[in-house]
């Protein structure tokens, strides 16, 4: 009877030790995985670059210059279209 009780206690002790070692191993692996996660680093870099873009937003050009530029572009387009029509005929 004493021999069986000894074997039972030794077996329970070994099982408890194995469980504890597995739990520590899993925690260490999880911490290592979280620390080395490249996705977190990329998210952090993306957030930083977005905040820099917000700070360094270019000023909007005055409305009169935009209209002037738009008129110039349309005029160039019409001139190119007229040239193409002249070469077809």
CA Rg value for the chain: 37
Q: What gap in Å lies between CA 60 and CA 40, rounded to an integer?
A: 34
Please tell me the predicted confidence (pLDDT) of residue 13. 94
Q: What is the pLDDT of residue 7?
A: 94
- Residue 37's pLDDT is 74
Contacts of residue 34, Cβ cutoff 8 Å, sequence gap at least 6: 40
pLDDT in tens, 14-73: 999 999 988 888 777 766 666 667 788 888 888 888 877 666 666 676 777 888 999 999
Write down the pTM of the prediction: 0.34
Structure token digits, residue 68: 């002037």
């Amino acid at each position: 009877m004493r021999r069986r009780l000894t074997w039972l206690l030794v077996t329970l002790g070994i099982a408890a030790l194995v469980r504890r070692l597995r739990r520590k191993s899993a925690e260490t692996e999880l911490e290592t995985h979280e620390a080395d996660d490249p996705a977190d680093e990329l998210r952090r870099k993306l957030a930083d670059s977005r905040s820099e873009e917000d700070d360094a937003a270019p000023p909007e050009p005055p409305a009169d210059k935009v209209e002037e530029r738009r008129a110039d572009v349309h005029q160039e387009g019409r001139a190119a279209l007229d040239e193409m029509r002249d070469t077809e005929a």
